[in-house]
Structure 1
Amino acid sequence: MELGISMFGDLHFDPATNKIQAPGERLKELIEEIKLMDDVGLDYFGIGEHHRPDYAVPSPEIVLAAAATATKNIKLGSAVSVLSSSDPVKLYQNFAMVDLLSDGRAEIMAGRGSFIESFPLFGYDLKDYDSLFEEKLELLLKINTEPIVSWKGRHRAALKEQMVLPRATAPIPVWIAVGGTPASVERAGRLGLPLMIAIIGGSPAQFQPFFELYKKTYQQYGHDMNKYQVGIHVHGFYGADSAALSDMYYPLYAAQMDRIGRTRGWPPYRRNQFDFGKTKNGALVIGEPNEVIDKILYLQELFGLTRFATHMDTGAPLHKDIMKSIEIYGTKIAPKVREALRNNK
């Protein structure tokens, strides 16, 4: 199982001054954080796409290109690219450049987007939410394997024997990210694409039917089980002392949940939700190394995971705290998880 980190580039908010962090500062911090992930031996980093004032990254591939020159081994992907409001030709070209800069480490994680700001920004109609994704995924997959493309759809100008350059070192891995929609899970299984499920609330066990559906569909369409890949994206943060970590992190996490919740009609986020989330039956992976190791192994066994991604900057913790969390993940948690998985083979 690969162990990695995803982020959105959350901008730190100082309640004392009512000021939000400058995006340029956060972008520089991100590169330092990704370099540390690589140095401590983590397998994967993913960065999300947003078009909001509380996030620093509207174009994941720009961050990944910068990270490609500062790292040696870690896989570099989006988490996610909002494919529905992107141009598949340009998206492929950008990630092909990241792939070339990184000697073949680029990945694309395609999603429909849980935030909708990109649709009016780039001139798309939300009534086409589903058909945009279907059509653009078809084109992206075609471009990924065919350098000269002829294609016709409804939402984009047709292509007739167009050469798409540059070419990546090999077809770029394209993951499908879902939030728990059966149709999206079924689509990934039908196409034989790796699946990433976001589990950010409730009990992880509630998501088990989606993993079963994916595996059943994947096998039904005759895809190679040797290439079967499935992962989860969960909110997490790591420290030396679980209680102290929770006291530091809860206010930041709750403030972010409430900022988003006000736009979606959620009730205020409470400490008892946070504390439940940290338990075995909750969705959060937050705490000291031993409890985190146990929970990661539980989730791996529950779902048969090939990738586990900790989403680590929710609520915009301070850079120094994120760096400490990354260090603990790479030096104290990941080695023990890998050892346990080897011993269980």
Structure 2
Amino acid sequence: MDFGIFDHCERSSRSPATTYRERFVLAKRAEEAGFYAYHLAEHHGTPLSLVPSPNLFLAALAQQTKTLRLGALVYLLPLYDPYRLAQEICMLDHLSDGRVELGIGRGANPIELGFFGLNPGTAKERFDEMFPLLMQGLTEGKMTRQGAQDRIDAPLDSRPLQQPHPPIWYPSAGGGASLAWAAQQGFHTVLNGPLAACAEAAKMFKENFKPGASGANPKIGLTRYVYVADTDEEALRIGDRALRYHRANLLKLANEAGFTITSPIVPPDNLAQAVREGWAAAGSPATVREQIAQMADQVDINYFVFAPMMADLPLEWGLRTMDIFRDEIIPAFAPADVAVAMSN
């Protein structure tokens, strides 16, 4: 099983400039620890994210790393001009020497879509319109559309370094027709939400999967909250505070708008419950290792992602987490022949 980072890059008590620099340090340590990729969420108008422009941040991160794969999870396609996005993805793929992982989605928060004057009810329609144009640009080097209100007939002077296009990811919070569609396209996925729902979604994804440009063995990921320390008590104490901080950021826009979110990606309001219900792994290295193994068995995944520096956690915590995963957790999930070689 591979491991990756899924980061919101939340606002903390440090300045944005410090937060960005800390993420560069963290990503380099993750690269050294053998992590597969750094995935970045896209959010707007909320302390949940300091990165409203994933490409801007990832272009800088590409210069700080060499092998770690990089990508948005996801680009909110309804918010983009497809022609500009296709050009920027091509540029980023070359800047990173072909390390882009391309996540796509409609957007989970209707309030954020509204900030751009978009009716959330049209998000799927816009996604369905944008995605084929994006793929045409990446694979054919041109983009054409004759619509009722506008027309596109434009070449792309560049193509992605990865051919025919970077690997595509479509995340899901419970499966459904959209995840079945993603499986039929041969995409990768990362699942979120209650563990039982993720297990059903993983099963459905495998049943619908058809090999595509990324091959016949898709990454089926699970994103969880992870807090690892020398003792269970320390991890639970520090992690509980971090989870509450993150949850407040996650719900801030909805609370200010005066309505209750019923999204399946909102975790419980305390870490002890989150661990019991399979939302989180928290404890000593041995405890976290066992909890992740149980999750992987239940959901049948081959990829596990988490945020080692979520909320207001300091850089030292994130670096220590990377070191623990490198030394005490990742080796336990390596294939038998690789594990033997690492121990020699």
Q: TM (normalized to structure 1)?
A: 0.85
Which structure 2 residues correspond to residues 169-318 of structure 1 after superposition, within 5 A? 169-170=161-162, 171-199=165-193, 202=194, 204-219=195-210, 226-261=216-251, 263=254, 265=260, 273-279=270-276, 281-318=277-314
Q: Which residue of 2 aligns with 1:8?
A: 8
Whole-angstrom distance in 1 between the partners of 2:27 and 2:151: 38
Q: Is the 8 A contact 1:148 1:164 kept in 2?
A: yes
Deviations 1:237-272 (A, max 9, x none): 32222211211221231133134336252699877x
Say whether 1:93 aligns with 2:90: no
The DSSP-based 3-state class of the residue aligned with 1:177 is coil
Deviates more, 1:329-338 or 1:24-33: 329-338
Change (3 A) 1:248 1:69: same
Counterpart of 2:310 in 1: which secondary structure?
Answer: coil
Q: In the aligned structure 2, how far is the partner of 1:90 from the partner of 1:308?
A: 31
Q: Using a 3 Å threshold, how does the CA distance of structure 1 residues 309 and 259 change in structure 2: closer, same or farther?
A: closer
Q: Does structure 1 residue 76 correspond to structure 2 residue 70? A: yes
Is the contact made by 1:3 and 1:307 (CA closer than 8 Å) also made in structure 2? yes
Q: Give the Cα separation in 2 of the matches to 1:269 and 1:198.
A: 10
Is the aligned partner of 1:168 residue 2:160? yes
Unpaired segments of 5 or more residues in structure 1?
A: 14-20
Partner of 1:329: 325
The answer to whether the Cα contact below 8 Å between 1:2 and 1:44 also exists between their aligned partners in 2 is no
Q: Any idea what the Cα deviations from partners look like across 1:264-301, whole Å, max 9, x if unmatched?
A: 52699877x4213224x511122222222223233333
Deviation at 1:75, TM superposition (A): 0.7
The 3 A distance-change label for structure 1 pair 125 and 206 is: closer
**1:89-128 matched pairs, under 5 angstroms:** 89-128=83-122
Cα pair distance change 1:152/1:312, threshold 3 Å = farther
Q: Does the CA contact (< 8 Å) of 1:111 and 1:178 recur in 2?
A: no
Cα deviation, 1:77-127, whole Å, max 9, x if unaligned, reads 112211121222222222222211221111111122222354234332222
Decide whether the 8 Å contact of 1:35 with 1:67 is kept in 2.
Answer: no
Inter-partner Cα distance in structure 1 for 2:237 and 2:158: 49
Cα contact 2:77–2:130 (8 A) shared by 1: yes
Aligned length: 329
| Aligned partner of residue 178 in structure 1, secondary structure | coil
Query: 1:95–1:107: 8 Å Cα contact kept in structure 2?
Result: no
> Secondary structure of 1:227's match?
coil
* CA distance in 2: counterparts of 1:290 and 1:327, whole angstroms: 14
Range with greater deviation from structure 2 (286-295 or 29-38): 286-295
The CA RMSD measured in Å over matched residues stands at 2.8
- Contact residue 185 and residue 212 of structure 2 kept, 8 A: no
Instruction: Find the counterpart in structure 2 of residue 45 from structure 1.
Output: 38
Quote how far apart the aligned CAs of 1:150 are.
Answer: 2.3
Q: Which residue of 1 aligns with 2:125?
A: 131
Deviation at 1:61, TM superposition (A): 1.5
- The answer as to whether partners of 1:45 and 1:74 remain within 8 angstroms in 2 is yes
Instruction: Pick closer, same or farther for the CA change 1:301–1:153 going to 2, 3 Å.
Output: farther
Deviation of 1:148 (Å): 2.3
Instruction: Give me the whole-angstrom Cα distance separating, in 1, the residues matched to 2:9 and 2:214.
Output: 35
Q: Indicate conservation of the 8 Å contact 1:49/1:81, yes or no.
A: yes
Partner in structure 2 of residue 18 of structure 1: none
Deviation readout 1:201-238 (Å, 9 max, x if unpaired): x3x1232221222222225x999972333212222232
- Report the alpha carbon displacement of residue 24 of structure 1 after superposing the two structures with TM: 1.7
8 Å contact from structure 2 (residues 73, 169) kept in 1? no
Query: What is the SS of the residue equivalent to 2:306?
Result: strand
Unaligned runs of 5+ in 2: 340-344
CA deviations 1:144-164 (Å, max 9, x no partner) are 21112323456x84322x212
Taking the aligned partners of 1:306 and 1:294, their CA distance within structure 2 comes to 16
Pairing 1:23–2:16 present = yes
